[in-house]
Amino acid sequence: MIPKIFKKILNLPSLLTVAAVLLAAGSCRSADDDVFMDPTTHNTREQNVRESNRATVRKPVSIATATYRVRVLGKSGGELCSGALDLELMSDLGFGAAKGGVLCMGQTIDLGRLLQGLTASAESDLDLLVDGLMVRARTIGGVAFNPPRPLLVGPIVQDTRPFVGLNQTSQHGAAWKNPENGQLVNSSGTTTVKVTGVNERFESSTLGQQFDRILHWEITSTGYEGIPKSEAFIFDRIEMLWNVRPLVIPKIVIEGNLRSFLSGDNQSAGRIAELFVGRVQIFMEATRFETL
């Protein structure tokens, strides 16, 4: 669970609309699912895809808190730095304010900013589409995508069959207006969504627990040059393990260039750091996960 990044997505009108995760067999439904704020849960996939079907924004509440051990690995696989992060998972499956972070090579990796793409707010320009298979962004972080770009797999899983072997590649146009000079930047890129496991088993050494209902997926992206990738929740690769029952997110991996992960004030220093580090992997492993 990462700080601000997951916040913009899930207000379904929000990465996160990681809304009601239902890996129940057939069409079974539990009252526990009602804690999630996805108002389209009861709709068909076809209904959700309709352009006119926009969810009503409701104020999210906290449903879980977690602590993650964060490790940053360089190209060679060696650990460059580490830290810890306290996160709050909201009922829209976005992330609340984060505590902690990572200081790497004298620079701060702003995980809150990275994850904020998944959390919506009253001031957010987040515009999402949920089709029952993925959460896709029409607009996120000031960037408009055509067609809507995949952000998350699921998260509402009532029938696991459509996710088995899921592997889709799509091309997207991206438009962004630079707030500093008003210049319109048009770009394009390619995004691939791949589900590597459904009802997968995962042994978490940091939680000391085994999970057997893991939805395991990754999203990789290339291109999208000239736009603020981290604000638009674009990474070279993001991998997530999401256990649907009980609700636990034991592991998240983000991969990309170090400079794009640094806070805004550290971009100049980041250019220097990138010369020596370049591409990094950020591993987030839960050491505590408590459902409220």
Over residues 137-166, the mean pLDDT reads 88
pLDDT, tens digit, 9 for 90 and up, residues 203-214? 999 999 999 999
Distance CA(6)–CA(203), nearest Å, equals: 24
Q: Could you tell me the pTM of the whole model?
A: 0.77
pLDDT, tens digit, 9 for 90 and up, residues 28-59? 444 445 555 544 444 444 444 444 444 454 56
**Mean per-residue pLDDT over the chain, rounded:** 75
- pLDDT at position 4 is 39
- pLDDT at position 237 is 95
Q: Which residue has the higher pLDDT, 159 or 23?
A: 159
Identify the H or E element spanning 272: helix 267-276
Q: Which residue has the higher pLDDT, 53 or 198?
A: 198
| Cα-based distances in Å from 274 to 83, 108, 233, 279 | 20, 13, 20, 8
CA 117 to chain centre: 7
Residues 14 and 122 sit within 8 Å (Cβ to Cβ):
no
Beta-bridge partner residues of 186: 175
What ranges do the domains of the chain cover?
Answer: 4-40+64-291
CA-CA-CA-CA torsion sign (207, 196, 261, 112) = negative
Q: Which of these ranges, 11-25, 36-50, 53-67, 152-166, has the smallest mean pLDDT?
A: 11-25
- pLDDT at position 269 is 52
Dihedral, CA atoms, 228, 231, 232, 237, nearest 10 degrees?
90
